[in-house]
Chain A
């Protein structure tokens, strides 16, 4: 069974800082890994999708990397803003078409 872990569980940073969120998974037989953002009481918004054959994806101030062999992904957020405050979730699709989520990192960016 795939286990997905995110560290840290919570993070508080001053505005403007660059930061890294970590995601690890136990089974490297994955199709892809996806990062989501969830605002309080809201649904999930997709941020970045990395296929198993890719090493990284970028969108604006966000960069996600994938090291499948070591079972790790990182989400890098550059020049953080208060609007980035949310819970960030990573999820992996394994080769059995199941989709497993990590427990999330709650990010607070302080103005």
Chain B
């Protein structure tokens, strides 16, 4: 049971480039979330999904897009990378009213 898997673990992007952060869970969880964590700061919710085909914005959605075509996958898309998007990104999932499982994170640097 792999839990929540995020790829890649590290990435350096140039300003204006685009990329997709992958998140996959094998626990059949309905709810999935994307967070970013800036140095010395708490985690901020970017987008979340309550099930396949349903997504919604969190606190800091600008500059990002998501999709949820399957229960397992919840990719996060950055279209035009900006230095302000340098952060560590975490994906999480949960089922019903149970606790959350987090991926190990993707460390992104935009230069």
Q: Are A43 and B104 in contact (CB under 8 A)?
A: yes
Q: Residues 92-110 of chain B: 1 if any A CB is under 8 Å from the residue's CB, otherwise 0? A: 1010011111111100000
CB of B60, distance to nearest CB on chain A (Å):
12
Q: Are B41 and A32 in contact (CB under 8 A)?
A: no
CB of A84, distance to nearest CB on chain B (Å):
19
Asked whether any CB of chain A lies closer than 8 Å to the CB of B82, the reply is no
How many chain-A residues does the 8 Å CB contact rule pick out?
24
How many chain-B residues does the 8 Å CB contact rule pick out?
24
* Count of chain A to chain B residue pairs whose CB atoms are closer than 8 Å in the complex: 52
B99 neighbours in A (Cβ, 8 Å): 32, 34, 46, 49
B42, B44, B50, B98: which contacts A89 (Cβ < 8 A)? Answer: B42
Q: Are A91 and B100 in contact (CB under 8 A)?
A: yes
Q: Are A43 and B50 in contact (CB under 8 A)?
A: no
Asked whether any CB of chain A lies closer than 8 Å to the CB of B74, the reply is no
Q: Are B50 and A97 in contact (CB under 8 A)?
A: yes
Known interface pairs A36-B102, A98-B45, A101-B44; 15 further A-B residue pairs with C-beta atoms within 8 A, sorted by A's residue number: A1-B59, A31-B97, A32-B99, A42-B104, A42-B105, A43-B105, A45-B102, A46-B99, A89-B43, A97-B48, A98-B58, A99-B33, A99-B100, A101-B43, A103-B42
7 cross-chain pairs, A with B, having the tightest CB-CB distances, nearest first: A49-B99, A103-B42, A101-B43, A44-B102, A43-B104, A101-B42, A43-B105
